[in-house]
Amino acid sequence: MVLSVVVTLKSCPSCPSCSEGWIGWEGKCYYFSDSEANWSSSKSRCNSHGASLVELNTVKELDFVKRYKDRTDYWIGLRREKKGQPWKQQNGSLFNDLCSSSNLIHAVMCQQCPSALYIGQTSQPLHKRINGHKSDIRNGNVQKPVGEHFNLPGHSIKDLKVAVVQQKPFKNKVQREAAELEFICKFDSVKMGLNRDYEWLSHYHR
């Protein structure tokens, strides 16, 4: 499959502004190419510029790259030999895909309402839990706090953001729920946020 290429220079906070045609963000320079090439050729072309195919290390960086996606697909610095095998970075190291991670505490956030925070726990892979939240939103399930909030006037599923709050080897659901409750109290997501299932906590001071 032939796609365009996005490359990034190494971080250089003290360097002057990026070259013409490049976009500066968070101390790096990014180039979104209109040229078409396969993954290997794209990687070689990046190297010739002293750069590399972009490796998405944070959700924030992913959101930045997605802004320029438009109708074009880009190569990034991940590759696997065949379907079913793990994704690897350009240096051969395994890619840590948080969306495939499980047994964790996660936070649901709204881009429009900073205080609309929902803390949850799951034993499932995170992407399945995210799909559950999205299903509640699309189906207008206002019985669920996330579904209710993102169906408010002026809101949409595009405002949904999800982040991993804690991932550790919880032995069971009880341990996950204890950690979940700790973060609900820490972020006060009952009074200020969307954890209305824990309304009894509002009677207690942090």
Instruction: Say if pTM beats, i.e. exceeds, 0.85.
Output: no
- What digits encode the pLDDT tens for the residues 52-80? 888 776 667 777 877 776 656 778 777 77
Paired tokens of 133:
């939240």
For the segment(s) 4-89, the CATH number from 3.10.100.10, 3.90.226.10, 2.170.150.20, 3.40.47.10 is: 3.10.100.10
Q: Can you tell me the mean pLDDT for 68-94?
A: 68
For the segment(s) 98-203, the CATH number from 3.40.1440.10, 3.30.930.10, 3.40.30.10, 3.30.2320.50 is: 3.40.1440.10
| Contact residues for 205 (Cβ-Cβ < 8 A; gap 6+) | none
User: With contact defined as beta carbons under 8 Å apart, do 184 and 177 qualify?
Assistant: no
